[in-house]
Amino acid sequence: MTLDRRTVVRGAAWTVPAIAVAAQAPAFAASPCAPVPFQANWRVTSTGTFNADRRGFLTGYPDGVERYLSEADNSRTTSETVATNSSTITLERDLTLVAGREYTFSFTIASRFSGDNSTNSQNQHLQIQTVVGGSATDRLKLVKGGRDTTHFGNLAANGWSRLLPLTTPPGGVQVETRSFTYTPPAGTSAVVLRYQYTLPARGYTGGTFPGQADIAVSAPAISGEGC
């Protein structure tokens, strides 16, 4: 097997997470603003292929917060042309909210450029959504990577924002907080919270396959008048 630079440097930044299958605990029946721990009642699915199985629940790095880490790169392509065979990882959690009351969802997100290279790291995308009756609505659309404008179009025009701007000097894992407010419509109580990671297929450039950025997101902290 030929090791690329991504394989060599990855271990220094993250502790390898275990692939976790959420145990089916009793249904979520506490206050909607009670802590929403990971692994209990989270459904984890994936599509596509990955060059390594480095994805799962991670605790302790860099600040002791439990997060779900997506570090695996998507399968490679042999063309500089943008491929369409993205791989995805989806986490879902059922919540019981009160219709008509406003909630604030806050998340801490740790991210890292591949190899700490802010200009050559290919993208990883994260959408955080609310799902009601099977219909999903984006609440946060986040991207980490140094090649998004060149290779994936002007994401900002489509509502995406970058996880820590590219002018930030690279230096390992960077942590920030993101949040959104949400008011369930009348007649709504059952809401699914969804994390959708998307890894576009990697393009061949300059004789190498640059790795994709890494993203790890915490379970939400929920507050507001519905609590």
Paired residues of 142 in beta bridges: 126, 161
Mean pLDDT (whole number) for 172-201: 91
Question: Between residues 214 and 166, which one has the greater pLDDT?
Answer: 214
Mean pLDDT (whole number) for 155-171: 69
Reported as a single tens digit per residue, the pLDDT across 19-35 is: 443 334 434 445 668 88
Mean pLDDT (whole number) for 102-116: 89
- Indicate the residue type of 104: T
CA of residue 27 relative to chain centroid, distance? 24
CB within 8 Å of 11: residues ≥ 6 apart: none
Residue 188 has pLDDT above 60, yes or no: yes
Residue 76 has pLDDT above 80, yes or no: no
Whole-structure pTM value: 0.79
Residue 169 has pLDDT above 70, yes or no: no
Task: Give the ranges where the chain is alpha helix by DSSP (H).
Answer: 5-9, 148-152
For the chain, list the domains and their CATH numbers. Answer: 5-224 (2.60.120.260)
Q: How confident is the model at residue 166 (pLDDT cuts 50, 70, 90)?
A: low
Residue 151 phi/psi, 5° resolution?
-100, -25
**What 8-state DSSP symbol labels residue 134?**
T
pLDDT at 23: 39
Reported as a single tens digit per residue, the pLDDT across 2-12 is: 323 333 334 44
Residue 211 has pLDDT above 60, yes or no: yes
Distances (CA, A) of 99 to 3, 38, 106, 148, 156: 52, 24, 19, 38, 31
Residue 116 has pLDDT above 80, yes or no: no
Which residue is it, tokens 């955080």?
128
Reported as a single tens digit per residue, the pLDDT across 28-62 is: 445 668 888 887 789 999 988 777 667 888 887 67
pLDDT at 110: 92
pLDDT at 113: 84
pLDDT at 159: 80
